[in-house]
Each structure stands twice: as structure tokens, then as C-alpha cells.
Amino acid sequence: MPVGTAASVKSVPQHLLEELGVQILLGNTYHLYLRPGVETVRRFGGLHGFMAWPRAILTDSGGFQVFSLNDLRKVTEEGVTFRSHLDGSSHFFSPESAVAAQIALGADIIMALDECTEYPADRRRTQASMELTLRWAERSKKYFDEHKHEVPWQQYPVPSTEYPVNAAAVQAGAITHNSGYWVLGTGYSQSLFGIIQGGMDLALRKESAERTIEIEFPGYAIGGLSVGEPRPRTREIVEATLEHLPKDRPRYLMGVGTPEEIVEYAGLGIDMMDCVLPTRAARHGLLFTSEGKISIKQARYAQDAEPLDPNCGCLVCRRYSRAYLRHLYAANEVLAQVLNTLHNLSFYLDTMRRVRHSIQLGEESRFLSSVWSRPKP
């Protein structure tokens, strides 16, 4: 999932995201809550209407930004008080208000408020933090169940010519077609996911998974990783946590990773990932290619007529030379950010396409081997 922090994947307009094949993107509740404010977004029918993006959206709970951007935050049983990074004003998120904000934003998948345990943390602190996240998960779920009908797009019929919808949703009767408009059936709403915490402790991860599953969510995220721990530790925690998560629900690993890492985690059984890396690195001239990472600002590319990545079929690599991309970056042209981001997103999306393809092939070969290995009659 590309990250569209403030209802925008930085420097790329929505029609190009569609062309790249982006199926879902992520918005940050913390940022949208502060600016433009959730009431503004609600009035436009939620993020879908506001940013004119008919495909899927996921919003986080705001918790991670509160924890990562705020040194002055204060956590109590009730929730977390924090200061705006924009103007220093004081704000408060409870599990209930974080879900209320996300209902107003109207993303398809929303997240329960959790406490991202800091790294390093001792066992006692990790356990207390995990218990708090579990109590918050229950409160998030309770509030969501009582208020999910308030999602803004319930009242907004959308023109069916402009917004193609998921055929499965139509078949399931969640969406019906009525004189040129899609109308949502009653009871069709967002999906609230739970988040597993437990720090770097395998036993606490197991307990967090089991008790979050008891609360029952349609999908589960693994949080509290990529917070400064060594990479092998991340992998170990992911692997151990996955063992305890149901295979028939989406499993979402938050905030990773490099192209190599997303392949690795998908191989372990992760279904969803989000990361600012492809877009943020692009703005700093760091480009992912099939031949490794390239820093386009380097003088060695000044006369280079080759495409950025000869194995990439994206609209940047089909058209422009490394020399041109290097010039745009050196001249601080806005287009440098646009083209670099387009390529990096394409590279990530292609990587995930290959992952899906090999999963399909793998399933076929497993199917074939089960056919061929059958004992002869």
C-alpha cells in the first residue's frame, strides 16, 4: 500500500496511481485529523469523495504518529494526550475518538487504537503496554459496532459509470445498482482491524495474538516492529506472531519495508504491507531498480543515456534517460519528485505483482504435485 499521508501520495495525482495499478492506499488519521479536520472530509462523503479516489483506502488509528512525532505525549488508561506538530495545540485520542475520526474519514479498512511499545523495553513495561492495547482494542470494537452505520458514504449514492465497484460486493448484495447509481446496502460498512503488540517478547506476542483474536476482528495487523530493533529480530517476531494468526483473515505487517523485505514477509504469509520508503526515498533521489539502489544525484549519471532501470517498463523508464533524471534532481525541479516517485511506486507494485504470480504458480505446482504423487491404482 503506497502511503498517502495527507490524502495525497506525495507528488502523484490519483489518475496516475490508477494507471500504475494501485488498488489500495493508506491515509494517516493523525495528519488528516489536524488538517483539514475530519468534519471537512466527512462532508465530502469521506476520503473517497474528498480525494476523488474510488478504490480502497486504509487509515491507521493515529496512534503511531502520536508516539513517533510527540515527545510530549501523555498516555493514560483513558487515551493519549498529544501536541499538534503544526501549531503546538493540545489534543486527545481515546480508542473511541480515534475510531470516530476514522468512521468520519470513511476508509474501507480502519485500525484500532494501540500503544506502540518503545524499543527497547523490559518485560514488565512490554506486558503492561500490551494489556493496555488489548483493553483499547475492546473499546475500539465496542464503539465501532455501535457507530459503524455512521460512515459517510452510506448516504452517498455514487455514479456507476465513474466508479467501477468490486464484483464480489455486488454479488454479495452489499452494493446494488439503481438507475445509474451504486447504492450501498444497509449493514455494509468499514472493516476494523485489531493490532498485535507484545514488543520483542515471543510469549507476549503469542498472548497478544490469542487475546486479540478472542475480541474478533475481520483482519489482524502486527504492530510495534521496525522501531529500531535489528532486522533478524523483526523477522523472528513476524514469523512467531504469524503462527498464531488465522490464515483465513488478512494479516497486515505495519510499516515495512525494502523491496527485498516485502518479498520475504509475503513469503512468510503476510498479506498487506505499507511503507513510506518508496515515496520518501524517491524525493531524496534514491531509486530502487532491478540492479540495486541508485542515487540519481551522483555526477556519474550526468552523461548516462540509459533508462533508469532497463528491466522496468514504467512510464519513466520507457521515456527518460538517467542523465535527464539526474539533471532534474540537481536543478531542484518539481518534476524530479514526480518521476522518481512514479518509478519507485512502479517498482514496488511490480515486485508485489511478481509475488502474487509466484504464489499462484506455487499453488498450481502444489496442486499438480498432489495430483501426480497420487498412488497409481
Residues of this chain that bind Zn ion (CB under 5 A)? 312, 314, 316-317, 343
Q: Minimum distance between the CB of residue 351 and Zn ion, rounded to whole angstroms?
A: 12
Smaller CB separation from Zn ion, 64 or 301: 301
Is 273 exposed, middle or buried (CB count within 10 Å of its CB: 0-12, 13-18, 19+)? buried
Q: Minimum distance between the CB of residue 187 and Zn ion, rounded to whole angstroms?
A: 43
Backbone angles phi and psi of 172, in degrees to 5: -75, -5
Smaller CB separation from Zn ion, 205 or 343: 343
Smaller CB separation from Zn ion, 103 or 314: 314
CA distances from 172 to 48, 189, 191 (A): 21, 13, 16
Smaller CB separation from Zn ion, 56 or 315: 315
Q: Minimum distance between the CB of residue 314 and Zn ion, rounded to whole angstroms?
A: 3
Q: Minimum distance between the CB of residue 316 and Zn ion, rounded to whole angstroms?
A: 5
Smaller CB separation from Zn ion, 99 or 294: 294
Active-site residue (options: 60, 108, 309, 350): 60
Alpha-carbon distance of 172 to 140, in angstroms, equals 27
Smaller CB separation from Zn ion, 112 or 308: 308
Residue by residue, DSSP assigns 255-304 as T---HHHHHHHHHHT--EE--SHHHHHHHTTEEEETTEEEETTSGGGTT-
Q: Which of 365, 346, 366 is nearest to 354 (CA)?
A: 346
Active-site residue (options: 108, 114, 201, 274): 274
Smaller CB separation from Zn ion, 107 or 312: 312
Alpha-carbon distance of 40 to 139, in angstroms, equals 26
If one counts every other C-beta atom within 10 angstroms of the C-beta of residue 138, the result is 16
145 catalytic per annotation:
no
Per the structure block, which three cell numbers stand in for 351? 515486485
Alpha-carbon distance of 114 to 362, in angstroms, equals 36
Amino acid symbol at 311: N
Torsional class of 187: left (φ above 0), alpha (ψ -120 to 50), beta (otherwise): left
Amino acid symbol at 139: R
CA distances from 346 to 18, 272, 343, 349 (A): 11, 17, 5, 5
274 catalytic per annotation:
yes
Alpha-carbon distance of 9 to 5, in angstroms, equals 7
Can you say whether the dihedral through the CA atoms of 98, 100, 104, 107 is positive or negative? positive
Q: Which of 94, 73, 97 is nearest to 84 (CA)?
A: 73
Q: Which of 276, 281, 272 is nearest to 329 (CA)?
A: 281
Q: Minimum distance between the CB of residue 105 and Zn ion, rounded to whole angstroms?
A: 32
| Catalytic (active-site) positions | 60, 274
